[in-house]
Structures are given as structure tokens and as C-alpha cells.
Structure 1
Amino acid sequence: MADHEPRLKVLHIITRFILGGAQENTLLTLIGLRGHPRYEPLLATGPAIGPEGSLLERARSENIRTVLIPELVREISPWNDWKALRYVRRLIREIHPAIVHTHSSKAGIIGREAAHRENVPAVVHTIHGPPFHPREKPWRNRLYAFLERRAAGQSHAVISVADAMTAQFLAQRIGSPSLYTTIRSGMEVEPYLAQYDRDALRSSLAIPPDAFVVAKIARIAPLKGHEDLLNAAAEARSACPSLHLLLVGDGELRISIEALAAKLGLSSAVTFTGLVPPSRIPELLAAADCLVHASYREGLPRAVVQAMLSALPVVVYNVDGAPEVVSDARTGFLVAPGDVHGLAASVQKLASNPSLAADMGRSGRERVRNDFDWKEMVRRIAALYDRLL
């Protein structure tokens, strides 16, 4: 592009800009595109309501133009959804983006509909996780699949963060294979490779220096598996009395999870950090011995990649994109969803065999350190934009 030509506007739309994997992915994409010679990124999002924090201030501090759409909410709300659609259409007419790039299901449906009606030259959607899943109500799954089929017809490209996302969407007859491209969810790799003072970190968290620390990084919300982890920890402590849980995050189920920990006699063996900025995740992982990710629904589990970058072995429910990252019995253990005994046995195996845990951690770091760099993610997304225009 010649120096005198204006950059092409790329409008990213996401339902909520909370502390979460999809949101961190989107933020790093915006930051990467901010310095791109051809593209100028903008962000539109609904309100970040609730205990799950917000990344809006980080986006604004990075000089990303942001627009708040009050009616863009996660819940099904025909009146709000209609108003959000009108808002996005007005925004598109105002800024004239060359590309609309949507994230998450609600923003994906509304954003692509608006872009289609306003004849935006290129419409892209990223699947961070499917809206339909086995634990959802059947009528909702049917509705979500129908809406995603319609939106796929309004899309010029769909990015999947894992091959499993593409397979699940194609199984629901959503789009054709040529529509999909897999681009791994990137992250800032360097902080996870750094050295930290583990003893000082544990002391600051009031965790005993000789504890076997099991970390979990997730919103404390339905389907994230905190209940399973607590029950597995109660079982594993009979063989590993030094086991200590480090739960990073907050959410709507915090009070009930604290109550379950007390009921299981684990209160003194669980540390709740509450919300923390993403920049603290590397040092918190440095205080741990392994990570357990017992989520029932995931695109590509970002926390698992972060733990592997930190050279930690991982124990992960075998759902969605997990087996694309974790090599069972080599970089950690894949466990069937809901298998609490399997979680407990895997944690016990790591706690009782430090050399195995260390080998798995080293193998995991080598597996992911090159494929999940955020700059490579941005490069591939920009290359996709180039092909579409």
C-alpha cells in the first residue's frame, strides 16, 4: 500500500471483553494489527458485567479505538439483540470498515448479519468455542446450529482456534470445508519462559514451600470443572497429603466452590487468588507443580498452553481441542470428561514421580513454544485478510 493511502479499517466485534481466553486472543490481534501498515483495528463490545473483570482499559491504553454497545449482551434477548443489530449497522455506516471480524457466538450472529446487510467487503468470524454442546438444552443447540448456518453463509472466512472446532461445525452442516482456516490462539510467550523465585511466590500466596501445588486457571463458572477438581483433590490427598490447590480466577460460582471446599475439608488446602491481570499468570504458574484443566467445554484450552510454556505437566479433560495440544502420557494426561477418579490418579502419579513430571513439563514446553506465539497468529490473520481483499 502506498504511503499516502489510508489504512483499511478492521472492526472486531466481541460480546464481552472480560478476562478470558477469547478476549485475550482478540486483544493481542488488535495490538498486532495496530502497527500493521495496511490495517487499522477498532473494537466494538458489549458491557463487561459481573465478577469476571474487563480488558477494556488495556485496549484503551494500547490506543485501540473502542466502542461500547450497551445492548450487546450474552443472554438471548430479542429486543436487545435487535437494538444491538441496529447499533452495529450504524457503526459500520459511520466508519466504513473493509473487514468485520467477529468473535463469540452472539457477536458473531449479530455482527455478521449487520456486515452482510451493509455490504462489508470481507466478513470473518473466529470460533473460540462452539455455542452448542452436549450439556446444553436440545432446543438451544438446534437454535444455535441454525443461526450459525445462516451466519456462515454471510462469512467469507471462518477461523478455528482448533481443528476440533471445524469438525464440530461441519458435523452440524455449518459451511463447507473451504470456509475454515485453523489459526492457533497466540499469546505472549516470553514471560512463561522466564525464571521466577518460586519460594518467594509461594510465600506471598501463603502456600507451604513443600506443597505439591495444583493450579487451575479459569472463570469460576458452570462447566469449568471446579467441582470435579475439588472432589479429585479430596480423593488424592489420602496419598498426597501435601496437595494444595491454587485457583486463579473468579466468577458466579465462587461462593458455592468455597462452600464445597469447606465441606470436603479442603479450606486450608485451597488458595483463591480472585481476579488477576493476565500479566500475573506466568508467575502464578511458576508457583505450581502441575495444572489441571477440567473444563467440559473448550475451544483450544489457553490455560493449558500457558502451563506447558511454563514447563508444567498438565491433566486435562479430553474435549474439543485438548488432544491437539496435549500428548497423552508424554506432556501430561488426557482424562475422560467427568472422570474424577482419573483426575485424582493422574495428579497422584505426578506428585509421586517428580522426574516424570519434569520430563513431561520439558516435552510440553518444546511442543508449544513455537506454535502459539501471538505475533505468528497476527501474521496469519493479516495474511488471511490480504487474501480476502
Structure 2
Amino acid sequence: MKIMHVSTRLILGGSQENTVFSCAGQADDGHEVLLVFGPIEGPEGTMLPTVEAHGGIVPVETPDLVREISPRRDLRCLGNLRRLIREHQPDVVHTHSSKAGILGREAAWRESVPAVIHTIHGLPFHPYLAKSKNAVYIAAERWSARRCHTIVTVADAMRDQALAAGIGRPAQYRTVRSGMVVEPYLDDSISMLETRRNLGLPEDAFIVGTIARLAELKGHDDLIDALSSKMREDPTLHLLWVGDGYWSDRLLGRIRDLGLGDQVHAPGLVSPERIPDWIRAMDVLAHPSYREGLPRAVVQGLLSAKPVVAHDLDGAPEVCIDEVTGLLVRPGDQQGLATAIERLRSDPALGLRLGAAGRELVRGPFDHRSMVRELEAVYRTVLERPGTPR
């Protein structure tokens, strides 16, 4: 099978990891895999070295595939994608993210690709955007849904929200969990204390960690607002922020202004292979994001048997089940966020129970091999339909 994946930005991020693991697994299964992406810019890192190190994925950068709306560049990109499709003759074009999804599906549809698939990792429209922008995004997604055979979602919540907005038909949708290499998260051979020593973190601190870009809507301000007073009273309460982003200087400036620089650890960008170590060093993984598909960081925390606190929105409740595998907080409820974290600090047995239940819930469905198998089944279902061109 010839498979072409199209993704807007190959930065260090959840949807990009999903895409690269899909490509790698499919290449390992003997398929010809092409990964098309736009320019990689900014402080958020790149997955390109991982792609190149694999050796079985053909990476192609197309210069006009950019996140921003740019009619002239978008038209050039559409032409480039059509040219690549004609050159490589893929059986499947699988698009990821909003811009790549809109242009990639249109290009594949015009070129009569036998199977056109799109994955919704997170919807481009949300309550924190202006109504006019949301209207444009919804119209574009409705239009693009008519130009693909199947829409994959990483969470049932994404399917439900898309259908509520009039995007696609129920029969088009299939939920496939966002896979990852689970074994490093399941490895309990190294203790939390030893990990902290290796990473230079304080052994006696209670560490609340996040794995997220330092960016808008990721909830770092909520953690500051929820915990800063308690942190000033208690020097053993620490934050660990793994990630980088455009808000890094502002957020770390807030920390310095509050006099909490010694209690907030910000290692910046970390390679995906090192994420299990940083999670192992945490007492609690907090994910107070305001917009997600199904947050991989939450799944990674659960795989690591850590208690998780997350906002009750989008796909998070499908894995962070309140009082069963984690604690959910109403978005924006900073007091509720502080209370949930304090509950876990004061009741270690609760954290152990939630973490164990969470690990058991996610260890199978989020294995990257499960994702690759399920995606191949999606492709073959489309390709084996009567009338599909060969």
C-alpha cells in the first residue's frame, strides 16, 4: 500500500507524535510511506530527526503549507500537493490538522485518490475564538468533510462536537486512540527519588508537573493562580513545566515576580524519549488545558501510574474518569484545581489507587501498535468498497 500523510507543522506536539508513530508503524509493516509537511519554525522543536532516523519514511517539506490563512500560498500549496499525488500515486492520503486537512483533502479528492482519510486531533473552532473565526473554520470543515471517505477522531468527544457543528455524517467517523510507545511509561524499575537525583530535582519536594507547550490555553497561568499563595507558605511545593513555547518568557517572568523561581523547574524542550523520566519525577501530573482533542500528556501520566488532575472538557474525561482514574476540575475553577492537588498530596493512597486504575485503563488502547492496526483496518475498509478504483 502507498500511503501519503500530510501534516501542517512537524513540531514536538501530540498530533505530530501520533502522525510520526503512524508513519513508522506503517513503514515497518512494509507499506510505502510519504510524509508531507510545511516549514518547521519557532521554539516548539521538530520531529524531523525522528522521521529521518527511522529510515523507512520519505519526508517531503512543501514550503507553502503554513498554519496561517494565506490565499496566495494556500493556492500554491494545493498545486504542490496535487503534483506530489500525481508523482507518487498513493492508495491513501491521510491528512492531519486543520490546514493540511483542508488543502490535502481537496488535492486528494481532485486527483481521485482511492482512500482519503482525515484525523481530527483537535477541532480548530472553540469557545475562546471570535464567532466570525469559528464560522469560517466550521464552514471549511463542513466543506472538507465532503471530500474524504473517513474521519478519524482521537476521542469520541471530537466526533460528537464535529457532528453537532454539522461536519460530516455519523457513518464517516471512527475513533482511533492516539498511540504511543507505552513500555517506557510502564517501567517501574527506577524509583521516583533516583529519577529526581538524575534530573537534578529536589528529592523532598511535592512536584506538580505539566507536559505542554508554554502557550495560550494550556493552563500554566491557572496553576500559578491556584498554587502561588500556597507555594509562598510552603517551600516544598514545586511546579515542573516540561515544554517550551511563545509564552515562555511571560510565564517565567510571572514566576520571578512572585519570588518563586526556586520552586518552578522549567527544563524547556525535552525529546519525546525523555518524557517518561520527567513524569516519573512527578507526584501529580496536572493538565488544566482549555482546548484538547484527547491530551496525550494525560495518557502518559496514567501509563506512568501517576494521579492526574485535568480540566473536564473535550476528550480528557474519556481517560481521566473522575474519582476513578483521576480528578476532574471545571475549566477556570482555580480553587477546585488547588483543592484537587491538595487532596492528592494529603492522601497518598488515593493517588496510588487512581494511578493504578488509570494505567490499567490506557495501557492497551494507547499502544502505538494498536493504533497502526486500527488505521490499516480503516484504510482497507475504504479501499475494499465496491467501485473503489484500483
**What is the TM-score normalised by the length of structure 2?**
0.96
1:317/1:334 contact within 8 Å kept: yes
| Mapped contact 1:240–1:348 kept (Cα < 8 A) | no
Tell me what 1:42 maps to: 34
Q: Which residue of 2 aligns with 1:88?
A: 81
Instruction: Work out whether 1:142 is the aligned partner of 2:135.
Output: yes
One-letter amino acid matched to 2:180: M
Number of the residue aligned with 1:332: 326
Among candidates 352, 355, 362, match of residue 361 of structure 1: 355
Aligned with 1:31 (options 19, 24, 28)? 24
Match of 1:217 in 2: 211
Decide whether the 8 Å contact of 2:235 with 2:263 is kept in 1: no
Q: Count the aligned residue pairs.
A: 381
In 1, are the aligned partners of 2:124 and 2:137 still within 8 Å (CA)?
yes
Counterpart of 1:161 in structure 2 is 154
CA RMSD of aligned residues (A): 1.2
Q: Is the contact made by 1:220 and 1:250 (CA closer than 8 Å) also made in structure 2?
A: yes
Residue correspondence of structure 1 range 153-302 to structure 2 within 5 A = 153-194=146-187, 195-237=189-231, 241-302=235-296
Gaps of 5+ in 1: 1-7
Distance 1:36 1:355 in 2: 43
Q: Tell me how far 1:238 sits from its aligned partner.
A: 6.2
**Residue of structure 2 aligned with 1:72, choices 60, 65, 69:** 65
Q: Distance in 1 between matches of 2:224 and 2:104?
A: 39
Matches within 5 A, 1:15-26: 15-26=8-19
Deviations 1:18-72, CA, capped at 9 Å, x for gaps: 10000000011001100224x3211000011000000011111112101001111
Fraction of identical pairs, as percent: 51
Instruction: Find the partner of 2:54 among 62, 71, 75.
Output: 62
Deviations 1:211-266 (A, max 9, x none): 11111000111111111112112144367541111100000000001011122232
Q: Does 1:9 align with 2:2?
A: yes
Taking the aligned partners of 2:251 and 2:179, their CA distance within structure 1 comes to 30
Contact kept? 2:10, 2:16, Cα under 8 Å:
yes
- Tell me the CA shift for residue 198 of structure 1: 2.5
SS at match of 2:289: coil
Q: Secondary structure at the match of 2:300?
A: helix
One-letter identity of the residue aligned with 1:52: E
Answer whether contact 2:232 2:260 (CA < 8 A) is retained.
Answer: no
TM-superposition CA deviations, 1:256-294 (whole Å, max 9, x none): 010111222321100001111100011111111110001
Structure 1 segment 301-340 matched on structure 2, within 5 A: 301-340=295-334
1:240 & 1:331 partners in 2: Cα distance?
Answer: 28
CA distance in 1, matches of 2:308, 2:366: 17
Report the Cα distance in structure 1 between the residues aligned to 2:268 and 2:345, rounded to whole angstroms.
25
Q: Matches of 2:111 and 2:364 in 1, distance apart? A: 39
What residue number does 2:126 align with? Answer: 133
The TM-score with structure 1 as length reference comes to 0.96
Mapped partners of 1:173, 1:137: distance in 2: 19
How far apart, in 1, do the equivalents of 2:242 and 2:271 lie? Answer: 10
Tell me whether 1:51 sits opposite 2:43 in the alignment: yes
Q: Which moved more, 1:247-256 or 1:222-231?
A: 222-231
CA distance in 2, matches of 1:355, 1:240: 22
